[in-house]
Amino acid sequence: MQLSPQDAQSSRVPGTELAAGRKAQMLRASSGLLLAGAALLLNVGCSVPQPRGQGTLQRIVEPTRQATYWLYLPQDYVEANEAARQHRRWPVVVSFHGMKPFDTAHAQAREWEQEADRYGFIVIAPELKAPDVLREFPIRRMSPSIESDERNTLAAVEHVFSTTHADRGNVLATSWSSGGYLAHFMLNRHPERFTCLAVRQSNFSSQILDPYQVPRSRDYPVLILTTQNDLGGVKQETKDAIQWYDQHAYPNLAWVEMKALGHERTPDMAAAFFAQVAGVQPNRPPTVLVNRQAIAGNPRGIAVLAGRMDSIRPGQPALATAVPPRSATPARSAPGGDWSSSEAPALLAVRSMPRAEPATPSESSSGSAMMPSRAPERPALPRAPVTIRVSSAIGTEPLVLAFSADCPADWQRSADFLWTLNGEPICSGVNGQKTITEPGEHTLGLLVVTPGGEENRAYRLIRVLPSAESGRQAAAIGGN
């Protein structure tokens, strides 16, 4: 790799020897990274596999700092009139791109188009300086490029707030690959601008985070996604990120390792997570999630992947109370139903359970004679080792059913899982999703086989109701 004529000329200017030496050193150090990047291009390429949306994508230059960013307005926003835009909440996704030239702000905005149309998200993808093959990597210190990206991102977000009907009370910081450095950094330094974080196969550096700022964002929902076949360096820094949030006692940390995937774009998981946090529903089923299966994760992560948000504590981030969302449209339930409500128990847990014997009553003390007599408490039955959690056991067609196995944590990696619907296999793994289009009663089954060969089974009854449109069509057919 050679310096451009402009770089060569600047290197001969008196007083720039140190800067030129630093650049040459960076170029030499990046040679191995370029080879790795070339391999990455062969594996996943720069292309965006996600389908295009029906909204509008444009490159914007922010007027105060001349910061450039890509803005995607979803289809519903573009087609709505001004009154409808004001009436509805439009959550905001701020997506930080990975290392140039392997990823760009334009590509980040592109990969989010379909999900933005599905949920009504406004997407901002700032053009960054720090994630660049010619700059420091891995990032271990604050640099002028990070500080510039910080200021430009804040300016871009504020510009979108002032020119659209974006919802200040629901803002996601998300990233892919080396964009994770900025995503973690922005939530840590500016929690007043964001409401949650979802990083996807992303890098992490604790050296640029301020531990004294942790109390400001500690209650925020945080989702960390990794994949089974991700790049080694990214996987290690993902582990570092999980450890950092654990050490700083983030109660709403969720992390998931997804089966079979590599270092590839997965905005769908982050989109579903953000929709649950923001309280919005998709206008069509998120069918891509059917193929997302976890091979590892903490209980909150597995729950989020299955469409449950009861794992997220009810406390809201400071921004949600300081800047409430638009009151014209009330918050709606998360996709798949409200998991915080009580559920019916599993229909059957096929495994012999020991009979519970009544507890031996303790001898009465001198003080107990003065207390009113009370019937002895019934001992709790032993809990079945495997039960099924579902997003909603009843709903109208088409029902997007998210499900997960509630089982011992060590089984998530070691056991084999097989899910069936009405006796037909549908997927394997700790969790999954299935869209049911046929009204009626359906039986969701789960078989878990432990490494020792022990079989555990559980079942749930799922009731799918005909939609109003189906009812009208049936009535029309009957009338004819």
| CA–CA–CA angle 119, 430, 239 (5° rounding) | 80
Confirm whether 368 is domain-assigned: no
Q: Are residues 168 and 84 in the same domain?
A: yes
CA nearest neighbour of 385 among 403, 359, 404, 411: 411
- Alpha-carbon gap, residue 235 to 41, rounded angstroms: 18
Residue numbers of the domain that contains 431: 344-349+384-480
Q: Are residues 422 and 317 in the same domain?
A: no
* Neighbour count for residue 165 (Cβ, 10 Å): 19
Provide the token pair at 236: 């290690």
* Neighbour count for residue 77 (Cβ, 10 Å): 22
Phi, psi at 95, each rounded to 5°: -110, 125
From the centroid of its chain, how far is CA 39? 27
CB 347 within 8 A of CB 413: no
- Alpha-carbon gap, residue 82 to 79, rounded angstroms: 10
- pTM equals 0.62
CB 346 within 8 A of CB 387: yes
Helix orientation angle between 144-163 and 180-189, rounded to the nearest 10 degrees? 70
466 contact partners, CB below 8 Å, separation of at least 6:
396, 397, 439, 474
Provide the token pair at 110: 């592109």
Q: Are residues 130 and 259 in the same domain?
A: yes
What pLDDT score does 403 carry? 84
Q: Are residues 297 and 399 in the same domain?
A: no
Confirm whether 367 is domain-assigned: no
CATH of the domain at 426: 2.60.40.10
Q: What is the mean pLDDT of the chain?
A: 76
Confirm whether 402 is domain-assigned: yes
Confirm whether 8 is domain-assigned: no
What percent of the chain clears pLDDT 70, i.e. is strictly above it?
71
Q: How many domains, in total, are found in the chain?
A: 2
Residue 480: band (very low, low, confident or very high) from pLDDT cuts 50, 70, 90: low
Confirm whether 30 is domain-assigned: no
Q: Are residues 316 and 388 in the same domain?
A: no
- Alpha-carbon gap, residue 402 to 65, rounded angstroms: 44
**Segments of 217-368 assigned E as strands:** 222-227, 253-258, 294-297, 348-350
Residue 157: band (very low, low, confident or very high) from pLDDT cuts 50, 70, 90: very high
* Neighbour count for residue 76 (Cβ, 10 Å): 19
The one-letter amino acid code at 150 reads: E
Phi, psi at 236, each rounded to 5°: -65, -40
Q: How do beta strands 348-350 and 455-465 pair?
A: antiparallel
Q: Are residues 272 and 405 in the same domain?
A: no
Q: How do beta strands 90-96 and 122-126 pair?
A: parallel
Q: Quick: pLDDT tens for 329-384.
A: 333 323 322 322 223 222 222 222 232 333 333 333 333 333 333 334 444 444 56
From the centroid of its chain, how far is CA 352? 38
Residue 16 vs residue 228, higher pLDDT:
228
Strand-pairing partners, residue 262, are none
Q: Are residues 393 and 281 in the same domain?
A: no
Confirm whether 189 is domain-assigned: yes
Q: Are residues 145 and 233 in the same domain?
A: yes
- Alpha-carbon gap, residue 151 to 172, rounded angstroms: 17
The CA-to-CA distance between both ends of the chain, in Å, stands at 76
What pLDDT score does 345 carry? 27
Strand-pairing partners, residue 418, are 447
CB 177 within 8 A of CB 263: yes
Q: Are residues 268 and 400 in the same domain?
A: no
Quick one: CA dihedral 239, 406, 385, 228, positive or negative? negative
Confirm whether 308 is domain-assigned: yes
* Neighbour count for residue 405 (Cβ, 10 Å): 24
What pLDDT score does 147 carry? 94
CATH of the domain at 174: 3.40.50.1820
424 contact partners, CB below 8 Å, separation of at least 6:
none
The helix or strand, by DSSP H or E, that contains position 163, with its residue range, turns out to be helix 144-163
- Alpha-carbon gap, residue 167 to 332, rounded angstroms: 15
Q: Quick: pLDDT tens for 52-75.
A: 999 999 999 999 999 999 999 999
Provide the token pair at 238: 């993902």
Q: Quick: pLDDT tens for 90-117.
A: 999 999 999 988 999 999 999 999 999 9
Q: Decide if pLDDT at 306 tops 90.
A: no
What pLDDT score does 290 carry? 67
The one-letter amino acid code at 40 reads: L
Over range 214-241, report the average pLDDT: 93
CB 427 within 8 A of CB 293: yes
Cis peptide bond prior to 398, omega within 30° of 0: yes
Confirm whether 34 is domain-assigned: no
